[in-house]
Amino acid sequence: MKIFRTGAILILLTVVLVLAGDAIGGRSGMQMALIFAALINFVSYFFSDKIALASSGAQPVTREQLPRLYDVMERLSAKANIPVPKLYVVPDAAPNAFATGRSPSHASVAVTQGLLQIMNDDELEGVIAHELSHVRNYDILTSSIAATVAGAITYMAQMGKWAMLFGGFGGNRDDERGGGGLSALLMIFLAPFAALLLQLFLSRTREYAADETGVRMVGHPYGLISALEKLGAYNKRIPTSAISPSTSSLCIVKPFFGSGTMSSLFSTHPPLEDRIAVLKHLGNAPLR
């Protein structure tokens, strides 16, 4: 069901792209936007892990430095049948963790110093299982595809705005409908908003999926439930000093930046209370 839902969201994004391209710039406009966005996201896909790790100040750690973390990571990686990711620690008192990398063989997991200080063994296991689930489920690849399509839609809308300001919509359209009329005006303003909502919904779907996969990897939800409860409490009063807004979507919980937060409608993460409720329901049902 979750795979179907993810596929449906990607198909909807593609439909929005096709409709927006036809309305704003014709077929050629759609192709140009998709090529432009694909080039940007190609670079992002292959280098996003390095960008995320560098921007957060993450430092690689050895088994000698953190045997507890290595023990958990190696045990769960064996259960998930994936290579052990590279391990990093972020010098941040705010507890959090994130995984990055384009595939299981090119993956990294980073945890903050704050997380290591407050988590007991069961809670740490739940957090690491969640992050390894993102790696195992190829969530970075899925997010990159969604970002490519959403980026193309946004780029086309920007082109449409400039065309409107400087003498009409797309002079090189493939048919007399392409790039003109009320449909183009609507797409310029509505298509990027629709793409954003679909992208955010996809991100939330992947968080729920990683929670469930992590629980099945461990065999019970109680460590992750306790970890999320702790993370929710601490992240309300300890602002992050290392994780940037561009990296926040990768984190197990949305970091606290010490200022007003956006509406939950525009959050990349589902509400913690909803995630915990789903996990408690899993705990009441037999895991397969």
The catalytic site residues sit at 131
Question: Three-state SS across the chain?
Answer: CHHHHHHHHHHHHHHHHHHHHHHHCHHHHHHHHHHHHHHHHHHHHHHHHHHHHHHCCCEECCCCCCHHHHHHHHHHHHHHCCCCCEEEEECCCCCCEEEEECCHHHEEEEEEHHHHHHCCHHHHHHHHHHHHHHHHCCHHHHHHHHHHHHHHHHHHHHHHHHHHHCCCCCCCCCCCCCCCHHHHHHHHHHHHHHHHHHHHHHHHHHHHHHHHHHHHHHCCCHHHHHHHHHHHHHCCCCCCCCCCCCCHHHECCCCCCCCCCCCHHHCCCCCHHHHHHHHHHHHCCCCC
